[in-house]
Chains A and B, each alone.
Chain A
Amino acid sequence: MIKWKFVFIRLFLLFGIFAAIHFGTSPLLKFGLVTVAEWVTGSKLEIGSLDASPFQTQIVVGKVHFADPKDPMKNLFDFSDAHLNFDQNELLHKRFIVNDGSLDGLQFGTERTTSGKVIRPESAESAESSLINDYIANVGENVAGGLTDLLTRRFDENFETIQCSKDVFERWPQEYAALMQRGKKLELRIREIRDLSRSLQANPLNTLRDLPKVEQAVRDSTTIKSELKNLQQSLASYRNQILVDRNNILAAKNRDLARIDEIKNSKRLNGRSLSQLLVGDQNGQRVDLAISWIKWLRTTFPHPKKQLEANRSRGQTIRFPGIKDEPDMLVRSLRLNGIGTFENRPYEFTGQIAGLTHQPERYGKPAYLQFESTGDIQFSVKGMVDRSQSIDHDRIVIKIPSLKVSDQELKIDDKVQLSLSSSEVEIHARIELVGNELSGQVKAVQKQVGLTIATNIQNDFAGELKSMLNDDLKEIQGFQIVAKISGTPESPKWELNSNLGPQIANAFNSTISRGYEMKKTELVNRLNKEADRALMQVSQLLQSNEKVVSLFLKSQTSEIFQLENRVADLLKVRGLRFR
C-alpha cells in the first residue's frame, strides 16, 4: 500500500530543492559573473537581467555594460540583449555548447555617466607614434629644404662676355684716340715745315736767313717720318690686339656657355621621403588603428592558462584513448549586431563569432570573428584567434571598399603645400600576430584625386614652375599607399611604400629639369645675342678707327715726303746742301 503522506512530503521537499535551484541560479550566476569580471579586470560589469536555469537550455541576458579598464568613463562594450541557446545533447555530456546565439545592440566605447573603475589597474603606455612622428619631421626638413631651394633659386646672369666686351669698348677708343693724338702732334710740326717751305718759295732771299730753320726742318722731317712709321706699326699692332680681344670675347662667351651648361638641378626630390612626409602621418593613424585591433584581439582573447582549466584537487581525471576531448564550453555561432563609430560617423554592423571557447587546445581549431557594416560606411572586419597551439596566432583582415575623404592639405613646409581634392579611398589591411611577431600590411588606394601645388614664394621662376608643375600634377589620377608592418605589438615598425611620393617627385623633378633647361636656353640665347653684338661692335670699331687713323697717317706721310723733296729742291736751286 502506498503511503501517500510519505510520497507527498518527499515530493514537496524535492520540489522545494528544484525550485531553489531554478530560481537561485540566475542571481547566483549574475553575482558570480559580476564578481569574477570585476576581480579580473578591475572594471564594473553591470547586468540588467539574467535568466538562467539548469532546467532550461537557454540563457537570456539583458542590458549589459562593461566598463573600459583603460578609460573608466567609457564602456568597453555594452549590449541590450543576448540569447544563448545550448545544445541539449551536449549538456547531457556536461558540455555547454552554444549552437546558436545572438547579441543585439552591441556598442563599443560608449560614454558612461559614472566611473566604471573598481580598482586602479596599471595602464600600458602607448608604444606608437612618437618615433614615427620624429622620423617624419626629419624627412620633412630634408624634403622641404630641398624643394624650397629649388623654387627660390636665383640665377647668376652677369655674363663674363658682357664684362669683357665692355672693357674692349672702353679701352680701344682711348687707344685709338691716343694714337690719333700722337699723329696730330706730328701734323702740327708738318704744318710748320710746310709753312717754312712756302715762305722760302715765296722769297728765296730768306733762305740764307732761315737756313738754321731749314736745317731743323730737314732733321724734323726725318724724325717725323720715323714717328709716322712707328704710328703705323702701332696701328698694325692694334689691329692684331683687337683681334686678340675679339678672341677673348669669344673665349669669355665659351666660358659663359660652360657655366650655363653647368647649371644643374643637383637636388632631386626623393619620392620615398616625400611619401613619408605627405601621407606618413595619415597612414600611421591607419596602421595604429589596425595594430590596435590586433592588440584588442590578443588582449580580449588571452591564451587560457592551464590552471584556469578544471584542476581538481581530489584525484586525477583519466583520459581514455581514442576519445577526442571536446571543450566544456564552446560558442559555435553567435550573431552580433550593434552600432559603432568611425571617424565620428555612426554606422550599424552585423557580425558573427564562431568557435569561441575557453579550451581552444581541446577544440583544436581557431575562433573566427566577422563584422560587416551596413549603411553609409561600408567595411568588413574578419578576425581569427587561434589559441589551439602553444604559440598564439591572431589575424585580422579589414576591408573598406570606399571611404570618402574630404579635401586635404598635404603640407611640405610653410612655403609649399599640396592640395588634394576630395576623393574616395579603398583600404585593405591584413595583419597577423604570431607569438609576439607582427606582420602584414595596410594598403590604401585613392582614386580620382586632384593634386595642385600652392606656394607663396614670390619670384618669376617659382611662378613659372608652379604653373608647369600643376600641369604635370594633373596627370596623377590616383595613388596607393602600402605600409608593411613588422616588430612587436609593444614596439611596432612599419615601412611605408607609396607611389604618390615618386609620382609627385617625378613631376617635380621633370618640371624642375624642364624649367632649368628653359632657363638655360634663355640664358644661352641672351649670351649669344650679347656676344654677337659685342663682336660686331668690335669689328666696326676696328674698321672705323683704323681707317681714320690709317688715312690720316698716310696723308701725313705723303705730305712729309713731299715737303722733304720741296725743301731739297729749294736748297738745290740755291746751291746749298746739308752735310
Chain B
Amino acid sequence: MFLFIYKTLKILISAIRGSDSPKQIGFGIAVGMMIGLLPKDSAFAMMFGLFVFATSVNLLATTLSAITFALIGSLCDPLFHQVGLFVLTHENLEATWVWLYQQPFSAWTRFNNTVVMGSLLVGLFLMFPIYYYSTGFFEANGARFSRSLTRFWLFRVIAGKKKLAELAGAES
C-alpha cells in the first residue's frame, strides 16, 4: 500500500518536474505567462492549461510563471482593456467578431470581453520574446540557478536524487 502511494507520488513529482531543458523551461514560462495574464473564467486559460498538459513543457516553470503573471496581469487590466476595446470595436473586424461569436464554444472563451481579448493579444505578442529571453537565460545560467535551488527542501524533493547527483557532478 505504502509502496503504491510512494510510486504514485514519484510519478506525479516526475510529471511536475517534466523536462528541464532550457527550451522547455522557457516555453513553460511563456505559456505560464499566457495562463497568468488571461482571466481564469475564459476558456482560453483552460485551453492553454490543456496545452501544457499535452506537451512536455516544464510544469513547475509554468506554474510559477502563471502565478507571477497573474499578479502582474491584474495590475495591467487598464492596458488590456484599452487594447481589447480597440480591437473589438474596430469596424473592419466587426464581421469577423460576429461570425466568431456565433460559433459553438466561442462564448466559453469570452473573447468579446475587452480584458480577455487585450490580455490574449498582449500575451501572444509577448510570448516569443519571453520564450526567447528565458531560454537564453536558462542556457547561460541554468546549472548555477539549479544549484542555488538545492537549498530548498521542496526543490530537492521534486528534483530527485538523480538530478541532484547531476548537479553535484557538474559543480565538481
Contacts and interface: CB of A to CB of B under 8 A. Distances in A.
Nearest to B80: A315
Given A9-B15, A13-B15, A320-B98, A315 B81 contact: yes
A6 B98 CA distance: 40
Nearest to B108: A94
Contacts of A12: 11, 15
Contacts of B80: 315
Interface in B44-81: 50, 53-54, 56, 77, 80-81
B52 to A, nearest CB: 9
Nearest to A94: B107
A100 to B, nearest CB: 21
Interface residues of A, number: 23
Contacts of B114: 315-318
Secondary structure dominating the interface of A = loop
B81 A316 contact: yes
A314 B39 contact: yes
Contacts of B115: 312, 314-315
B116 interface: yes
Contacts of A95: 107
Contacts of A3: 56
A13 B53 contact: yes
Contact of B113 (A9, A89, A93, A314): A314
Contact of B116 (A89, A315, A322): A315
7 contacts: A9-B11, A13-B15, A312-B115, A314-B77, A315-B39, A317-B112, A318-B112
B102 interface: yes
Contacts of A9: 11-12, 14-15
Interface of A: 3, 6, 9-10, 12-14, 89, 92-95, 312, 314-323
Contacts, number: 71
B53 A10 contact: yes
Given A10-B53, A94-B108, A322 B98 contact: yes
Given A13-B15, A93-B107, A323-B101, A316 B113 contact: yes
B54 A316 contact: no
Interface stretch (B82-90, B131-139, B143-151, B164-172): B82-90
A289 B89 CA distance: 53
Given A12-B11, A314-B115, A315-B81, A320 B104 contact: no
Contacts of A6: 56
A14 B15 CA distance: 12
A320 B112 contact: yes
A170 to B, nearest CB: 116
Contacts of B39: 314-315
A363 B63 CA distance: 41
Secondary structure dominating the interface of B = helix
A315 B113 contact: yes
A92 B101 CA distance: 11
Contacts of B14: 9
Contact of B105 (A10, A92, A312, A319): A92
Nearest to B113: A315
**Closest A-B pairs by Cβ, 4 of them:** A315-B115, A94-B107, A92-B104, A315-B114
Contacts of A10: 15, 53-54
Contacts of A94: 107-108
A318 B88 contact: yes
Contacts of B89: 318
Given A6-B56, A315-B115, A321 B94 contact: yes
A260 to B, nearest CB: 93
Nearest to A315: B115
B23 interface: no
A93 B81 contact: no
Nearest to B99: A320
A334 B31 CA distance: 44
A14 B14 CA distance: 15
Given A315-B113, A316-B113, A323 B98 contact: yes
A323 B102 contact: yes
A330 to B, nearest CB: 14
Nearest to A9: B15
Contacts of A312: 113, 115
A316 B85 contact: yes
Contacts of A314: 39, 77, 113, 115
Contacts of B94: 320-321
Given A315-B81, A319-B112, A323-B102, 16 more contacts: A6-B56, A9-B14, A9-B15, A10-B54, A13-B12, A89-B104, A92-B104, A93-B105, A312-B113, A315-B115, A315-B116, A316-B113, A316-B114, A317-B113, A318-B112, A322-B98
Contacts of A318: 85, 88-89, 97, 112-114
Contacts of A92: 104-105, 107-108
A14 to B, nearest CB: 6
Nearest to B88: A318
Nearest to A92: B104
Interface string B18-59: 000000000000000000000100000000001001101000
Nearest to B56: A6
A14 B97 contact: no
A289 to B, nearest CB: 44
A251 to B, nearest CB: 106
Contact of A315 (B54, B56, B102, B118): B118
Contact of A93 (B11, B104, B112, B116): B104
